[in-house]
Structures are given as structure tokens and as C-alpha cells.
Amino acid sequence: MTTASEAPAVGLTHQGSEDTGLGHRGPASKSIVVPYGFWLFILSDMVLFSALFASYATLVHATDGGPATNQLFDRELVAVETLALLSSSFVCGLAMIAAKRKNMQLTQVWLLLTGLTGLVFLGIELFEFGKMIGEGAGPQRSAFLSSFFTLVGCHGAHVTAGLLWLGTMMAQIWAKGFRQDIIRRLLCFSVFWHALDIIWVAIFTIVYLIGTLP
Amino acid sequence: MFGRLTWDAIPFNQPIPLITSLVVILALGGVALWITKIKAWPYLWHEYITSTDHKRLGIMYIALALLMLVRGFADAIMMRAQQSLAIGASQGYLPPEHYNQIFSAHGTIMIFFVAMPFVIGFMNFVVPLQLGVRDVAFPTMNNVSFWLTASGALLVNLSLFLGEFARTGWLAFPPLSEKAFSPGVGVDYYLVALQISGVGTVLTAVNFVTTILKTRAPGMSYLRMPVFCWTSLASCLIMLAAFPVLTVALAELMLDRYLGFHFFTNDGGGNSMLYMNLIWVWGHPEVYILVLPAFGIYSEVAATFSGKPLFGYRSMVFATMVICIVSYCVWLHHFFTMGAGGDINAVFGIASMVIGIPTGVKIYNWLFTMYGGRVRFNVPMYYLIGFMLTFVGGGLTGVLLAIPPVDFIVHNSLFLVAHFHHVIIGGVVFALMAGYTYWFPKAFGFTLDERLGKIVFWCWFIGFHLAFMPLYVLGFWGATRRMQHISDPSWAPWLNVAFVGAAIIGLGIVLTVVQLLYSIKTRDQRRDITGDPWDGRTLEWLTLSPPPHYNFAVLPDVHGEEAYWTRKQTAIKQDQLIDEPDYQPIEMPLSTPVGVICAFFATVCGFAIIWYIWWLAILGLIGAFAVFVWYAWRDEHEHIIPVEEVRANARERRRIRMEHLHELSQST
């Protein structure tokens, strides 16, 4: 809650009262509260995506005479795209290790790489979208394509927001150093970035793999 | 340049919205002038608008809710008047397109901008105090949440003066709400306003779940939390999992309307029943988001005014969490008529009835809390008893509606309208009025006038029954909801009774305002010196009324289930307070304008999207991002309250407590 209460909260011995189980030791420190709240936000984001998945599952066969899944998707391209995103997450993990060691140069380099691989992912996605729209398979074509563009596009929008956040984080670390609150933010960013991977794995499986079954 | 926005947007040819909006603008201008005259802007800016204090934010939420209640009620009385007048040959005074906007606005405003901010306002004000801590987990985010809610409310009300509101009912069902059938800005106002306030609600949920699970006073284990904290936790968990679904449903409808997608359209393979499912996956849990904290308020009231611990505390907690989970398994009962088949309808029908069981547990718990207690009949107790008498009836018609064959007969009839008003007014509104009376002295340091409060209760109680019991009858006779004109003259007497009922509720709302003004005027007669005017049992009554910014000079050490009651009884028995603790300086979060600036940009961006002013929308987004970066760059997070101030305040409070304690010890 405050930096002053942070210190005693860590080693707080709760004298005079019997042990009562969970969470009885007084307010948790900021380093616990902040990531906890962020995890809750991620959970609500997962619910958001699950509603988009539900929409996709409902509408996937509603092609209105237009192209269906296995006429549109390119497995190889999506494999490269997936590789870019997963390696971005891996590099993000390296950045976190460097930040923990307060190594400014390495942190910045790894974060830059995180951003670049994220950009590659986003570029491939935009290329795929552009190609589909060019072939007349844009989101206005059918309910299936509406739901496809919304689900995958919403993930893409999250990646874009993540990149904006990443850029801001890099500038902040540069300007302010490895301050406690900055580190907490970086931790939240990495949770966000990994969560996008989890969602992508689901998209990869449900949309692309199942969609390209012969 | 200005998209769809032209002079035609102002309703020059429609006297009712034009005059209403002019009156509102004049009233707001008058209030602003008055504030300027008494030079209160700096005070308002520092102490309320930019405040990160959960108590101040709670007060602002409730003020917003009361203001919107007046607007929502104006819609209600207009509908009742129209249905009383437009019978047979008469067409009444509202043309259909205006009438449709009114019932849509009434539902939207009452749920999103009255009930929600009222409930969240209580959570804000009460939960940290009851947990024995100094603020919520994320105080700045709390301020942002409030202003985003206010931004949504502002946009909805702007539609009165600029353009129109949705004519589609409060949930904007497609295909009616699609571009093809609703080309105007009404549905866009609805969608954008709810998206903005929805973000605020999710942030609130994150904030309060974290607060309740991670920041409690030492010794406050889960099963020592007051029931209001438990119900708030359950309510916020539902918000966290239900509001994202609302966001998706509304976003998909927006994509349909703005970019020509085909989620819910009649052509292109769209499926409007997908919208029904998504909106009710949010919509039914929403009912419990509102009613669970209401149950929490009743629990506090029952225990306090019966002078007994809550009967069956653990079963109350268990019932709350069961409702929290089962609330997700019933959404399909809103459209049994979809044709999902007998098996599916049966499952959802049974699940809906199952919710009656934990709710019944709660009713018995409140009854047994009163049984054998020394019941004091203050205003909150009136509402509790009124609630139990009313709500059981509303619950029973709910069980009726949960039977699919019955539902097929009364689907979308006035019977349904009567049912949900029965549970929402009888369940939620009564609780909000009880809570308003109960916690008012804690917020402002004096109690509300009891006599006027009781008159207000009777207005609500009698008015509600007169207004809605006739609708059950009409619903059985086949009257459908949302009718601008009534062709069967034999319904007239029932509709007239309903109008009288609504008018009595209106009198109650007027008297609520009178009660507030009168209580402020005569506040010196009813000062709450001790901070514990009702002989309370939970920690909010431990501190001063109004509490200092930091709530507690030292965090209370909690022993046993009723944290404050145990402590108070020990003190009375020993005729002394606990030893003076070692006071420390306290760090509190700084107030910040980030919330109000952020909401300003959200409003600008939302307004631009509604009117297709794309450059302005982009500017709004850039502005919002810039504010976030600017805020993230801050170096100062907290200010320190010096130990001398803390100690002086605490000693003064101990002195008052001691005097009070002597009186109590002598009287027993």
C-alpha cells in the first residue's frame, strides 16, 4: 500500500492473535498487490477472448457461400508467425533476467529484440490480412470472416498495445533506472506478453490447425 | 469536418427534449455559478475531483447515482403517464419514436448509471473501512474508474440534447439495432457510453478483488470478514468475469454498424441469437452483481439493529459464493423461446430455480437474526422488513418464470416487467436506501432525519406495490411490454393504479431530497460525536465520523468474528480503552487529476466516434495515451502525514470514546 508499510509487512510477526489462516498478517506489500491485480486483469482479458472464441466457433461455418477456412489459411506462414511470437516471449524472459541483475545494456538489447520479433509477428499478420482482403475475403464477406478478423485482430491489437507499452517501458528504464516501481511495471508487462502467447497458441490450434485439416 | 453532426441534431421541433435539456443546462450552469460564487472550486478540485480517497470516491459515486435516479425516474413517470393516456382513441402525448427512446433510456440509465454506481459507491466507502485498512489496493485507478463511469453517464445524457437515444430497448437487440434498421446515432450513443463505463467497471472489479483478498487488517482472516465484504467480493468476481463478455457483445455490434461486419445481421450468415447469448451471459450475472452487495447491506443492518451477531454467518458466506457461481449457469432462461429444445431449457430452468435455495437460506438467516434480538426500528430496519416481505414475492414469480412452459406464455409481457422490478426495487433499491441511511452519518458526521426517512420508506413500499402489482395482472391478460398505445380500454383502471403508484414513488424521491436538505440544515441536532451512532459491530464504526483520510491511526488488530463489537464489549467491561499504541507517520497516496483528464479524452473520443468525426477520435486516443505516459513518469507517489497530526487526532478520538464509555459503563 505504501512504501512505509512495505517494510514491516515483509517480516510482520502478528503477535497476540492466534493464527487464523490465509491473509491474516495485514496488508500485503506492493510487490505482491500490484502483480496480483494485474493477474486479475489478465484473467478478465482471457474471458474477453473466450467470448471471441465462442463467437468464432458459432460462426465458423457461416460462410455465406464465400471461402471456408481450408481455402484461406497458409500453415507455413502461420508457423513462422508463431515462431516469431514465441521467440519474442523467450527474449522477454531474458530481458527480465537482465533487469533482475540491473544490467542496463542487456535489458535494453533484449527488450529491443522482444519488440522487433513482435513487429515481425505483427507484420506477418497484417500481410495475411491484406492478402485475404485483396482476394475478396475481407471481414464484410461473411459472418465467418467477421469473426475470424475480430478474434485474430483483437489479439493483434493487444500485441500493438503491448509494443506501445514496451517502447514506453524502455524509455522509462533508461530515464529512471531500475527503480522498484519500474521493475514492478516490467513484471506486469512480461505477464501481459506471455499471456498473449497463451492466447495465440489457442488461436493457432483452433483457428489455423483445425481450419486447415484436410 | 464534423461528420454526421449538423444543426439538425438539436431537436428544435420536439419541445419535450428541447425544453428538458435547456432546463438541465440552465440548472447545471446555475450550480456552476453558485460554486464559483462561494469559491468552492479549489475545494472540490482537491478534495473530490482529483481525490484518491476511497471515501470521497464512494460519495461521488452515490451522488452520481442519485442524480441519475432523478433522470431515470423522469423517464419512468413519462412512460406511465403515456400508458395511462394513450388508451383507445387517444394517442397520448409521446410519439412512438420518442416513447421508444424513453423506455430504452430508462432501463439503460437505471441499471448502468443508478444501480451500478450506487452499489460500487457503497463498496468504495465501506469495504476498506470494514477491512480495517487505509485505502483500496489501487487508489489512483479507483479515481479513473469513477470518472470513466461519469463519462458514460454524460454521453447518455448528451443524447437528449444532441441527436437521439437508442429506440431498441435497454439491451439493443439486433437485428433491430443494426445499421439497416437503426441508422441514427441513438444506438451508437448507447454502445459507446456503455463501452467507456464498462472499462471503469472492470477496473473497479480488479481493484476490489485485490483489496479484499490481499489487503486486510492483521487478524482479519476470510471468515472474520463482515458479510458486506464477502458479498462485495462475490459481486466483483462476477464483474471481472461478466463485463468482458458485455464488451465483446457490444464491440461486435459496433463492428457490424461501423465497418459492415456480419456478426448479427440478417444477411451474410450473421446470427442474432449469438448476441442474445453473449449479452445475457453478462446480463444475468449482472443481476447478482447488484443484488449480492444488497444482501450484504441487509446483513449488516439485521445484525446491528437486532443487537445480535448475524445468524448463520458461515451459511451466509456459503450461500453468497454458491449464488456467485450458479449465476453463470442460468442465462438461457431469458430466451427459452429461442427454441434450444426441451432438454436445454429444462437444464437452465432447473438451474434458475436452484438459485432460490441459497437465497432462501439468506432470508431465514435474517429472520433468525431478528428472532430473540432487541430489534430497534430505525429506518434501515424498515427497509429490511419491507424487503423481506416484498422480495419473497418477487422471487416466487421468478421461480414461475423459470418454468419454460410458463415462460412461453408470459415471455416479454408486463408480467416479466413486474417481476424484475419486484426483485430490483424490492431487493436492490430498498437495500440502497437502507445503506444510504445507515452509512450517511459515517460519511458526514450526522444522521439523517428519521421521521422523513420513514415517510420515504412508506412512499417506496406503497408506491412500488401500487405501480407493479397491476402489471402482473395485465401481463397475465396478455399485455406485452413496451407498448406506446393501448387498444383495450378495459386495461385502463389497472394502468391508472400503476400511474398513481409511480407518482407515490416520485413523492418518495422528492422527499429524499427534502430529507437531505432538512438534515443538513438541522445537522447540529443529530451530530454523531462518537463515530458509532447505531451501536455497530464492524470496524467502520471504530473510527471517527467522518473518518480521517487515513481511516485508522493504527491498523486495528482483529480478534474474533465481530471485530469492533468484541473490542467495544471488552472496553465497556473494563471501563477503559486498549493501551495507547505507538503512533507512526502515515504515507497516503497523492491526489491526481489523471482520472478526470483521462475521462475527458475518453468522452471526446467517444463523442467523436458517435458522430463519425474521425480526426477528433484519433486526437482523443493520442491524448489519453499521452496522459498515461505523463502519469507513469511521476516520481512522487505518496505524501506523509506527520506523526504529530496522527497522534493529536487519535488522542482526541480516544478522549471522546472514553467519555462515551463511562456513560455506557454506568448505564449497564
Q: Which three cell numbers stand for residue B540?
A: 467502520
Residue among B215, B219, B263 minimizing CB distance to A24: B219
Structure ipTM: 0.94
- Asked if residue B50 lies in contact with residue B139, where contact means CB atoms within 8 angstroms, the answer is no
Total CB pairs under 8 A between chain A and B: 174
- Asked if residue B456 lies in contact with residue B433, where contact means CB atoms within 8 angstroms, the answer is yes
- Asked if residue A170 lies in contact with residue A110, where contact means CB atoms within 8 angstroms, the answer is no
B134 φ, ψ to 5°? Answer: -95, -25
Query: What CA–CA distance (Å, rounded) separates A125 from A80?
Result: 11
- Asked if residue B336 lies in contact with residue B404, where contact means CB atoms within 8 angstroms, the answer is yes
Q: What is the pLDDT of residues B332-363, one digit of tens each?
A: 999 999 989 999 999 999 999 999 999 999 99
DSSP state of B638: E
Q: Is A2 among the domain residues? A: no
Residue among A23, A41, A59 minimizing CB distance to B216: A23
Cβ of B243 and A44 within 8 Å?
Answer: yes
Of A182-191, B4-13, B529-538, which range is least confident?
Answer: B4-13
Cβ neighbour number for residue B349 with a 10 Å cutoff: 23
Amino acid residing at B103: F
Q: Is A101 among the domain residues? A: yes
Place of cell 495515451: B625
Strand, helix or coil at B553?
coil
Cβ neighbour number for residue A106 with a 10 Å cutoff: 15
Of A5-19, A62-76, B572-586, B606-620, which range is least confident?
Answer: A5-19
| List B50, B51, B100, B149, catalytic entry | B149
Q: Which three cell numbers stand for residue B350?
A: 432447473
User: Tell me, what's the pLDDT at B580?
Assistant: 85
Cβ of A140 and B260 within 8 Å?
Answer: yes
Distances, alpha carbon A173 to alpha carbons A111, B303, B354, B410, B660, in Å: 11, 52, 54, 62, 55
State the smallest CA–CA distance between residue B233 and chain A in angstroms: 13
B668 pLDDT tier (thresholds 50, 70, 90): low
Strand, helix or coil at B480?
strand
Q: Is A23 among the domain residues? A: no
State the smallest CA–CA distance between residue A91 and chain B in angstroms: 24
Q: Is A8 among the domain residues? A: no
Query: What CA–CA distance (Å, rounded) separates B299 from B302?
Result: 5
Q: What is the pLDDT of residues B232-283, one digit of tens each?
A: 999 999 999 999 999 999 999 999 999 999 999 999 999 999 999 999 999 9
B124 is catalytic: yes
pLDDT of B602 strictly over 70: yes
Amino acid residing at B485: H
Query: What CA–CA distance (Å, rounded) separates A94 from A204?
Result: 24
Q: Is A145 among the domain residues? A: yes
Containing H/E element for B206? Answer: helix B186-214
pTM listed for this prediction: 0.95
Apex CA B344: angle with CA B339 and CA B347, to 5°?
140
Best A1, A3, A25 residue to mutate vs chain B (most B CBs within 10 Å): A1
| List B50, B54, B55, B103, catalytic entry | B103
Residue among A47, A142, A164 minimizing CB distance to B245: A47
Residue among A21, A142, A176 minimizing CB distance to B269: A142
Cβ of A146 and B255 within 8 Å?
Answer: yes
- Asked if residue A87 lies in contact with residue B284, where contact means CB atoms within 8 angstroms, the answer is no
B397 is catalytic: no
User: Tell me, what's the pLDDT at A14?
Assistant: 40
B547: left (phi over 0), alpha (psi -120 to 50) or beta: beta
Best A10, A13, A14, A55 residue to mutate vs chain B (most B CBs within 10 Å): A55
User: Tell me, what's the pLDDT at B634?
Assistant: 87
Q: What is the DSSP string of chain A?
A: --HHHHHHHHT---TTS---STT-BSSPPHHHHHHHHHHHHHHHHHHHHHHHHHHHHHHTT--TTS--GGGT--HHHHHHHHHHHHHHHHHHHHHHHHHHTT-HHHHHHHHHHHHHHHHHHHHHHHHHHHHHHHTT--TTS-HHHHHHHHHHHHHHHHHHHHHHHHHHHHHHHHHH-S-HHHHHHHHHHHHHHHHHHHHHHHHIIIIIIHHT--
User: Tell me, what's the pLDDT at A10?
Assistant: 33
Residue among B221, B244, B637 minimizing CB distance to A48: B244
B140 is catalytic: no
Q: Which structural domain, as residue segments, surrounds residue A171?
A: 38-211
> Which residue of B lies nearest to A39 if distances are taken between CA atoms?
B206
Cβ of B213 and A55 within 8 Å?
Answer: no
Query: What CA–CA distance (Å, rounded) separates A26 from B324?
Result: 26
Considering only CB atoms, which chain B residues are within 8 Å of A40? 205-206, 209-210, 240
Cβ of A51 and B278 within 8 Å?
Answer: yes
Q: pLDDT over 90 for what percent of chain B?
A: 87
Of B459, B320, B476, nearest to B400 by C-alpha is B476
Q: What is the pLDDT of residues A82-95, one digit of tens each?
A: 999 999 999 999 99
Q: What is the pLDDT of residues B190-228, one digit of tens each?
A: 999 999 999 999 999 999 999 999 999 998 999 999 999
A23 pLDDT tier (thresholds 50, 70, 90): low
Of B402, B396, B397, nearest to B346 by C-alpha is B402
Cβ of A44 and B259 within 8 Å?
Answer: no
Containing H/E element for B520? Answer: helix B492-521
Q: Is A13 among the domain residues? A: no
- Asked if residue B358 lies in contact with residue B319, where contact means CB atoms within 8 angstroms, the answer is yes
Considering only CB atoms, which chain B residues are within 8 Å of A163? none
State the smallest CA–CA distance between residue B480 and chain A in angstroms: 31
B135 is catalytic: yes
| List B275, B288, B446, B607, catalytic entry | B288
- Whether omega for the bond prior to residue B175 falls within 30 degrees of 0, making it cis, is yes
Amino acid residing at B472: Y
B168 is catalytic: no
pLDDT of B441 strictly over 50: yes
Q: Is A11 among the domain residues? A: no
A22 pLDDT tier (thresholds 50, 70, 90): low
Cβ of B216 and A24 within 8 Å?
Answer: yes
State the smallest CA–CA distance between residue B150 and chain A in angstroms: 21
B638 forms bridges with which residues in the sheet? B589
Query: What CA–CA distance (Å, rounded) separates B612 from B163?
Result: 13
Mean pLDDT of B114-130: 97
Does residue B141 or residue A7 have the better pLDDT?
A: B141
Query: What CA–CA distance (Å, rounded) separates B125 from B646?
Result: 21
Mean pLDDT of B275-301: 97
Considering only CB atoms, which chain B residues are within 8 Å of A161? none
Sign of CA dihedral B136, B441, B450, B520: negative
Place of cell 520479433: A117
> Which residue of B lies nearest to A165 if distances are taken between CA atoms?
B629
User: Tell me, what's the pLDDT at A21?
Assistant: 44
The count of domains in chain A is: 1
Best B145, B220, B221, B278 residue to mutate vs chain A (most A CBs within 10 Å): B221
Considering only CB atoms, which chain B residues are within 8 Å of A47? 240-242, 244-245
Of A120, A122, A117, nearest to A95 by C-alpha is A117
Amino acid residing at B22: L
* Bridge pairing between strands B638-641 and B586-589: antiparallel
B21 is catalytic: no
Considering only CB atoms, which chain A residues are within 8 Å of B638? 2-3
CATH value at residue A114: 1.20.120.80
Mean pLDDT of B537-559: 92
B572 pLDDT tier (thresholds 50, 70, 90): confident
Of B369, B376, B402, nearest to B295 by C-alpha is B369
Strand, helix or coil at B589?
strand
What Rg do the C-alpha atoms of chain B give, in angstroms?
Answer: 25
Q: What is the pLDDT of residues A102-130, one digit of tens each?
A: 999 999 999 999 999 999 999 999 999 99
Amino acid residing at A157: A
B362 is catalytic: yes
Q: What is the pLDDT of residues B508-533, one digit of tens each?
A: 999 999 999 999 999 999 999 889 99
Query: What CA–CA distance (Å, rounded) separates B600 from B605?
Result: 9
B581 φ, ψ to 5°? Answer: -75, 175
DSSP state of B531: S
B649 is catalytic: no
B69 φ, ψ to 5°? Answer: -60, -40
Of B70, B195, B201, nearest to B146 by C-alpha is B201
Residue among A2, A41, A145 minimizing CB distance to B638: A2
pLDDT of A3 strictly over 50: no
Place of cell 432538512: B518
pLDDT of B491 strictly over 60: yes
Residue among B224, B244, B262 minimizing CB distance to A51: B244
Q: Is A94 among the domain residues? A: yes
User: Tell me, what's the pLDDT at A4?
Assistant: 38
Query: What CA–CA distance (Å, rounded) separates B156 from B150?
Result: 10
User: Tell me, what's the pLDDT at A6?
Assistant: 37
Cβ of A146 and B241 within 8 Å?
Answer: no
Considering only CB atoms, which chain A residues are within 8 Å of B244? 44-45, 47-48, 51
User: Tell me, what's the pLDDT at A214?
Assistant: 80
pLDDT, chain B, mean: 94
> Which residue of A lies nearest to B239 if distances are taken between CA atoms?
A44
